[in-house]
Each structure stands twice: as structure tokens, then as C-alpha cells.
Amino acid sequence: MGTTTTLTTAIETEDLVKTFKATRALDGVNLMIRRGSVYGLLGPNGAGKTTTIRVLTTLLQPTSGRAIVLGHDVAREAAEVRRKVSLTGQYASVDEDLTGFENLILVSRLMGLSWRDARKRSTELLGVFGLGDAAGRQVRTFSGGMRRRIDIAASLVTRPEILFLDEPTTGLDPRSRNQVWDLVRQIAADGTTVLLTTQYLEEADRLAERMAVVDHGRVIAEGTSRDLKASVGSNTLRLQLARADQHGAARAVVSQLLGDGFLPDSDATALAIKLGDAAIAPDVLGALARANVALAGFSLGAPSLDDVFFALTGRPADDAPGEPARTKQKEQKS
Amino acid sequence: MSLDAIPNAIEPLPLSTKPRNVSALSATGTLAWRAMLKIKHVPFQLFDVTITPIMFTLLFTYIFGGALGGSPGVYIQFLLPGILVQTIVFITVYTGVGLNSDIQKGLYDRFRSLPIWQPAPILGALAGDLFRYSVAASLIIGLGLILGFRPAGGPLGVLLAFGLVLIFAFALSWIWIIFGMKVKTPESVMTTSFVFLMPLTFASNIFVGIETMPGWLRSVVRHNPVTHLTSASRGLMHGGSVTSDVLWVLAASAAIVAVAAPIALRMYHQER
């Protein structure tokens, strides 16, 4: 590729394939990610998100195809890529035995800061990430949210051109999740390109300008969240029925009003309906009330990853056993 | 938890610098510093390194010493250089255990994605292990001196013996590094290692002289590098001819490193 494209392109992959023995974790991934953006890789467990990130951060060699990161081929110029990108993996990749401060010093020193600068930068980062009070505590005593923050902080000791975040909010409580979102926005505002993976459309929607939906090692859709949502229908009305035996009656009322538009149900008392326009929702509720269908609750919201998947593939997002087996014991709950 | 509190508005990130080149030596040194910090924070990991050898020394000296050497005071002269060898050889396995747990925790993903000299994390960890070996050796020799061990070779002989044991331990560690990358959990590194370490240390002249064994076993024991290491360490501590045993140990160590280190580093570069 020419120099002009590398100035504006952060990541480009061409038919990227990665096989692990029998499984084809990546089955021809094509991505084009612009510099200075937040890009989301959206997909269920095992879709190939982590494998993609591991290839792009030089941890895995692609089986075939090409991946160019900031103008460097990941297979042939790994050292150059490592110099310019940072990775925050799915499992907090900090030393649990060390304190938060020591972990940052460790990474700072490995990135070439002097002891003095390392101490200064580590203190600075701990403050910014709200970990100043916990600086002297071993990371094993940190909550899930704190671990995630120290992990992201470790990736920002020097300023990476691309920050890879693998499921940065998985297992976090809502408050910690919001904090991580704020951080990601700030890092992006600072000029760093961010590539994050997520299982939640909402997360990609809130953070990423563009996203790719990944399924079985392939990109099955790409675009802005508006593009993706348009393919599903802009709103989803979720009904929680008070009585399971009224499921049929409720469906009948809705079909009479809207024709079709049912999304896969999560259980026997739930009904998810695609609405072209949110303004129809009161009509649906009114019709149900007139038909004496009792509701335990309802919500009107944006479509979920499940809805997107259903719209794109005609089946719900299932957990495909595609990713290499990594120990899951480190899954943190805060 | 109050410490979990974070200001609602996160301050803007201060501008940061570009990464600078780090020499291989500096990266290894930093990672050795990390290994020392781990010992500082989890002193319990020195427990195995200290209590087990103390127990072994006391047990063998007082329970078996009379039967094996005539009296505990005589036997400890024979036993102590051997116990040093056995202890250090056994704790080399922690190199593999530590590496494995770092890999499982995702820490090596970070190290491997950093722009540093790639073997630095392994060599840094080895440097921490050398410290552990030194602690164990000092304890055993100290305890031996209290119990009546009198090395005729003097402090220099003892130091040389320890140096030779360190060289062999360093070589052996590379095998555990391979194990550490191959198996799934730190516990299985431990379990697998005993299958090798038990015969390696017991089918040697650590506890009894080789001449007390049946003929077929003798020929096995004679080719065990641990036997040569023990003879060399006895010779160095007590004064005696050691050249051939020392050369044997050095050659064996070099051979192990020459085979295992490239395999280990290759595996380290490759994916998991």
C-alpha cells in the first residue's frame, strides 16, 4: 500500500486467516480502520474478536492473509508494531502480587522511562485513574473495576498510536463500566486510535464511530451504528407478559396491528417487536390492553446484538467454540 | 468499598511521551526487579525453599545419620554438600511454575506485546530464581555449620561448590521453562516435575555412596549428572580431586542449555 493510505489508515487486513488445529478462528477477515477513530469489533464469544486482536498486536502469526498496522506488516515488522501499539487484554494483564504503583513503574521502565520519570508518570496515571489511594496495595486486593483501570493505565504509560482493548467492560458493574467508557472517550479525544471488542451493541454504539460485526471468523456487517441499527429497525419494543398462556393472544394482537416484526423471544413470557417508528408503541400497548392481555412490564429500546445478529444471519448469536482455549478462571466480577 | 471511589469527572490525561529504546540488559534488570518484588510481597513463596531443606537436613542427619555414616556428626560431612544439590535441583521447578502462572494470568501477553528484547521476561525471572537459590543455600550451609559441618575446603570451597550448583540449576531451569509453557496449570508443572526430580535426586550419591548400590543401579547412577554434581560439590567443600566431575557438570549444563534454551525461546515466541 502507498504512503498516502498509511497516513490515514491505522489498520488494514486482507483475507486474514488464523487456524488452530481443527478450528478456523479467523476465516478471511477484511478490515479498514481509519486513524483517530474508535472502532468496535462486535460479536458473540468465539466469533474471532480476541484472535483478531492477538494477530494485530503480534501475539499470533496469521496463517494466511495480511495485516498492516500503522504501515507495518504484523508478521514481518512485529517490533515496529509493538513500539506503536498497546494492548489491554481480556484478563487483567498486570502482576497481582505487585502494588498498583509498582505495576506502572514496571511497564514504564520497560517502555524506556528513567526511574524518575517512571515514578512521576505512574503517580500521574494513578491520580487520573482514581487509584491514588490504592497505589500501595497489591493488585490482588483490587475490585474488578480497579483492575481494569490499572490495566488500561499500564497501556497508557507512553502514548500508543493505537490502543487495543479486548472486552474492556466484561464483568464490570454499571458504574465501573461508565468509568471505562469515559476513559475510552478521553483516550480517543487525545488522538489515540482505539480498537475495542465487545459483545454489546450498546457499548459499540456509545463509543465507536464505526464497527464490524464478526461471526465465525468473518466480518458479516460493517458500518456506523446507525447503518447497523437501520438494518434491524430503529427500535425494539419488549413486552413482559404477566401470564405465559396469553403469549398467543398477545402475538395475535400485535400481528393484526403491525403485520410481522417479531424478534426471537428470550422466554415464554417475553415478546420483542421491531418497530419502524417509536411512536407506534402506545398504539401497541393500547391494543393489548383492550384485548385484556396483562403486562408485567415493557420497555422501548435500541436493538441488542442479538437483534442485529438475527437480522443479519437469521439466527440468534450463539457462542461459537472458535477461540483458542484460554483459562477463564481470571474472569473478574467487581 | 471506599477505596473504589473514583472522582466522577476523570481528569484529562496528561500528555505522555513516546517509548524509548530499552537495552536488553535494562529490560532484564527491570524484570529481575519485578521478581524480587514478588518475593518481597509474597514471602510465603520462600517457605518451600527454606523449611523443606531444613527438615531434610535435620531428618537425615539425626534419623539416618547413625545408620548411614556411623554417627550424625560424621554423616553430616557427607550429607551436607548433597542436600545443597538436592534442594537447589528441586526448587528449579519454580521457574516453570512462575512462568506458567504468568502466562495463564495474561501477563506474558503484555510483555510480549511490548517493544522489549523478547527473552528479557524469562531471564529476569531466572535472576529472581538465582536469589531464591542463594537464600536456600545460605540457610542449608548455615544450619550445617551449626550442626557440626566442617568443610575442609574453607569458604572458598563452599562458594565454588555453590557456584557450580547454580550453573547446573540455571541449565535445568530451561527444561522447566519448556514445561511451564506446555502444560495448562502451575499445579501440573509441579506434579510432572516430581516424576523427573525424584529419580534424578534419589538415584544419585546424595544420601549414600554409590558403592552400596547393586551393580545395575550403579551404572545408572554413575551417569546421572546429579551424581557428578554431588561429587564435585563434596570435593570442592572438603578439598579433593574434582576436575573430572566439574568438567562433567559443566558439559552436562552446557548440553542442556544448548538443547533446551533454543526450544524454550522458540516456544515463547510462538503462539499459545
Indicate the pTM of the whole model.
0.80
Query: Between chains, do B114 and A110 touch, taking CB under 8 Å as contact?
Result: yes
CATH of the domain at A290: 3.30.70
Same domain, A75 and A216: yes
Residue A323: pLDDT band (50, 70, 90) is very low
Q: Is residue A314 a part of any domain in this protein? A: no
Q: Do A225 and A240 have their domain in common?
A: no
Complex confidence, ipTM: 0.84
Per the domain annotation, does A333 fall within a domain? Answer: no
Q: What is the CATH number of the domain that holds A40?
A: 3.40.50.300
Which positions in chain A touch B19 (Cβ < 8 Å)? 83, 111-112, 158
In a domain, A158, yes or no: yes
What's the first-to-final CA gap in chain B, in angstroms? 37
- Which is nearest to A16 in space by CA: A73, A70, A71? A73
Q: Which of residues 215-274 of A touch B (CB under 8 A)?
A: none
Residue A175 located in a structural domain? yes
Q: Which of A57, A141, A100, A114 is nearest to A332 (CA)?
A: A141
Last residue of a domain, one of A229, A263, A283: A229
Q: Is B269 on the interface with A (CB under 8 A)?
A: no
Rounded average pLDDT over A278-285? 84
Chain A nearest CA to B86, separation (Å) = 28
Of the pLDDT bands very low, low, confident and very high (cuts 50, 70, 90), residue A214 is very high
Residue A23: inside a domain: yes
> Chain B: residue nearest A326 by CA?
B104
pLDDT band at B2 (very low <50, low <70, confident <90, very high): very low
pLDDT reported for residue B209: 87
Q: Where are the beta strands (DSSP E) in chain A?
A: 9-20, 23-34, 38-42, 64-69, 72-73, 85-88, 162-166, 193-198, 210-215, 218-224, 235-241, 262-263, 270-275, 295-301
Angle at B183 between CA B178 and CA B189, to 5 degrees: 80
Domain that holds residue A269: 235-301
Task: Give a yes or no: residue A334 inside a domain.
Answer: no
Q: What is the pLDDT of residue B169?
A: 95
What 3-state class would DSSP assign to A300? strand
Residues 5-44 of B with CB under 8 A from A: 5-7, 10-22, 26-27, 30-31, 33-34, 37-38, 41-42
Residue A321, in any domain of the structure: no
Do A295 and A222 lie in a common domain?
no
How do strand A38-42 and strand A210-215 relate by DSSP bridges?
parallel
Q: Are residues A255 and A144 in the same domain?
A: no
Number of domains in chain A: 2
Asked if B222 is an interface residue toward chain A (Cβ–Cβ < 8 A), one would say: no
Same domain, A243 and A223: no
Instruction: Please check whether residue A329 lies inside any domain of the structure.
Output: no
Residues of A in contact with B184 (CB under 8 A): 327
pLDDT reported for residue B12: 58
